[in-house]
Amino acid sequence: MSAQKNADTGNLLKSFTPYQEKAGEEYMNEPQVAHFTQILQNWKRELMEEVDRTVNHMQDEAANFPDPADRASQEEEFSLELRTRDRERKLIKKINDTLTRIEEDDYGFCDSCGVEIGIRRLEARPTATLCIDCKTLAEIKEKQLGN
């Protein structure tokens, strides 16, 4: 069993086994859909567990330190944790949106050109909505507009 590093949050997706395609297999068939549904549900569960750990940590560690430096350090630590959780909250929304796409048989195909996104790209980024070519073009356009 291998682990996959998620570019969005840096969290490790545990319990990830790459999908073994069979010759002549139809794209986004039932086993593939089940594979990605499981990846997304596991990822969501791990993120939710992290949220629970943060809440417990903040409740346990909350203290009114008399020293301003200690208070500032704790506030900075909590602020960083909350920013991370906010990013993860947005990621959970993307995961939920992706699970909806799966239910609607709209998963695995590029929103821009309609081609298959590909098993390996989806395993690297399960919430991807663009094929690598369209994503590359979008990034080039974004870079040009940003300069």
pLDDT digits (tens, 9 = 90+) for 18-76: 999 999 999 999 999 999 999 999 999 999 998 888 877 777 777 777 888 887 888 88
Distance of CA 95 to the CA centre of its chain: 7
pLDDT band at 10 (very low <50, low <70, confident <90, very high): very low
pLDDT at 4: 40
- The count of domains in the chain is 1
Give the span between the Cα atoms of 40 and 27, in whole angstroms.
Answer: 18
Q: What is the pLDDT of residues 92-119, one digit of tens each?
A: 999 999 999 999 999 999 999 999 999 9
CA distances from 95 to 36, 66, 72 (A): 11, 42, 34
Read off the CATH number of the domain in which 57 is found: 1.20.120.910
131: exposed, middle or buried (Cβ count in 10 Å: 0-12, 13-18, 19+): buried
Q: How far is CA 17 from its chain centroid?
A: 17
| Residue 135 lies in domain | 2-146
Model confidence at 9, pLDDT cuts 50, 70, 90, reads: very low
Using a CB cutoff of 8 Å and minimum separation of 24, what contacts does 124-130 make? 124/4, 125/7, 126/36, 126/39, 126/40, 126/43, 126/95, 126/98, 127/8, 127/40, 127/91, 127/94, 127/95, 127/97, 127/98, 129/101
C-alpha span between 30 and 14 (Å, rounded): 22
Confidence grade of residue 7 (pLDDT, cut at 50, 70, 90): very low
